[in-house]
């Protein structure tokens, strides 16, 4: 499959380069034609014509320079955002639609930043550097692979990712998910599945991501999950009733219990009296929350079978709580989260939070919200 993609990219770039060369030749011929004065013209007309021709010649020469620069770029950079033909292709490499990607690029351009190791990258445009970073998050291509695709070295690809990861973190996480929306704000976009849970503030759950075995024995013990039987990292993720991701904690070692993560992550300080948390049956946090905050979990089976009211309650909670599972599934679509090597341990929290923030730039999780979104867009 990779060989077919290589052949396709090469053929596309060869065709594009040939077309640009032909256009450059035509423009140069047009410039040469403009340099020859028209015989039989009156002095006044010739003066006007020569000024007009000089202006036209100037703009043609500028266009030639632009096309020649584009040819050089095509020779040195075989892949970039200019190759993205449609939303489906853009979603494959970034998880976003083309228009949404353009918005993120514009937002990133407003952030002041310094390049990793203070080594500025000039071989790629600003947009392509954002695109490369999102490609790394979405597809987890190796840096050598990214280097080949974008016509740069693997080291440069590494520097670009380490430069723009904090930039994306400021744009899609810190500026949007710094505070969980209030209960009153949630009520303005409450879907039908939450008709029985109008006071719901968050739906929360922990999710795990596998990681490489640390070198130190004490870290090996901390990251080993007795439930999953391998080393992993965990985060506490929350979604609002409308399906938007509203909170994502930092990464914790796999041996940390869900209850300890909930107590330490800072979500408790944002909850107020009257708020409700929807959670899984095993998420026993009722004794951790503030007075007035309720935790709604499916009932435990204490008799031979559930009563009709317990069955109804379980069904209603499951219908509302399914959105956190969909959010977890979308999070895992970012392939970089499939496995964390030791070299990424220090940036694990930022990587997960950026991926969680990017989910909010995708289509809404709940179909009702998607219909409302397109209705507003049409207006």
pLDDT tens digits along 327-346: 999 999 999 999 999 999 99
Average pLDDT over residues 216-237: 93
pLDDT at residue 221 in the model: 94
Average pLDDT over residues 114-124: 91
pLDDT tens digits along 347-375: 999 999 999 999 999 988 776 656 554 44
Average pLDDT over residues 93-101: 95
Give 28's pLDDT tier (boundaries 50, 70, 90).
low
> What secondary structure, in 3-state letters, does 296-331 show?
ECCCCCCCCCCCHHHHHHHHHHHHHHHHHHHHHHHH
DSSP letters along 246-309, please? EEE---EETTS-HHHHHHHSS-GGG--TT-EEE--TT---TTTSPTT-EEE-PPP--SSS--HH
Average pLDDT over the chain, rounded to an integer: 84
CB atoms within 10 A of CB 309: 9
Say if residue 46's pLDDT is above 50.
no
Say if residue 40's pLDDT is above 70.
no
pTM value surpassing 0.75: yes
Average pLDDT over residues 269-297: 89
Per the CB < 8 A criterion, the answer to whether 96 and 134 are in contact is yes
């Amino acid at each position: 499959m990779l060989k077919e993609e290589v052949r396709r990219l090469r053929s596309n770039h060869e065709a594009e380069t040939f077309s640009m060369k032909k256009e450059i030749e035509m423009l140069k011929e047009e410039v040469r034609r403009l340099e020859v004065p028209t015989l039989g013209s009156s002095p006044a007309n010739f003066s006007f014509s020569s000024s007009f021709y000089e202006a036209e010649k100037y703009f043609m020469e500028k266009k030639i320079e632009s096309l020649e620069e584009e040819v050089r770029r095509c020779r040195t950079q075989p892949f970039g955002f200019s190759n993205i033909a449609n939303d489906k292709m853009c979603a494959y490499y970034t998880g976003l639609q083309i228009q949404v990607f353009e918005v993120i690029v514009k937002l990133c351009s407003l952030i002041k930043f310094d390049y990793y190791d203070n080594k500025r990258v000039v071989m790629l445009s600003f947009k392509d550097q954002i695109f490369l970073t999102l490609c790394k998050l979405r597809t987890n291509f190796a840096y050598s692979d990214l280097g080949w695709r974008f016509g740069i070295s693997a080291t440069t690809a590494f520097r670009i990712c380490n430069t723009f990861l904090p930039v994306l973190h400021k744009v899609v996480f810190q500026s949007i998910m710094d505070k969980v929306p209030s209960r009153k704000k949630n009520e303005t976009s409450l879907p039908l599945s939450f008709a029985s849970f109008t006071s719901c503030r968050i739906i929360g759950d922990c999710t795990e991501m596998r990681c490489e075995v640390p070198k130190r024995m004490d870290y090996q013990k901390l990251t080993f999950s007795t439930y999953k039987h391998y080393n992993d990292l965990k985060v506490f993720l929350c979604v609002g009733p409308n399906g938007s991701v509203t909170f994502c904690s930092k990464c914790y070692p796999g041996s940390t219990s869900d209850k300890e993560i909930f107590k330490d992550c800072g979500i408790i300080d944002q909850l107020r009296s009257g708020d409700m948390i929807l959670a899984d049956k095993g998420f026993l946090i009722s004794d951790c929350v503030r007075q007035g905050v309720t935790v709604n979990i499916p009932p435990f089976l204490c008799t031979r079978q559930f009563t009709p009211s317990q069955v109804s309650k379980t069904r209603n909670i499951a219908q509302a709580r399914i959105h956190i599972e969909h959010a977890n599934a979308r999070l895992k679509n970012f392939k970089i989260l499939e496995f964390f090597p030791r070299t990424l341990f220090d940036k694990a929290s930022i990587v997960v939070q950026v991926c969680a923030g990017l989910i909010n730039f995708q289509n809404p999780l709940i179909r009702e919200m998607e219909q409302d979104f397109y209705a507003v867009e049409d207006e």
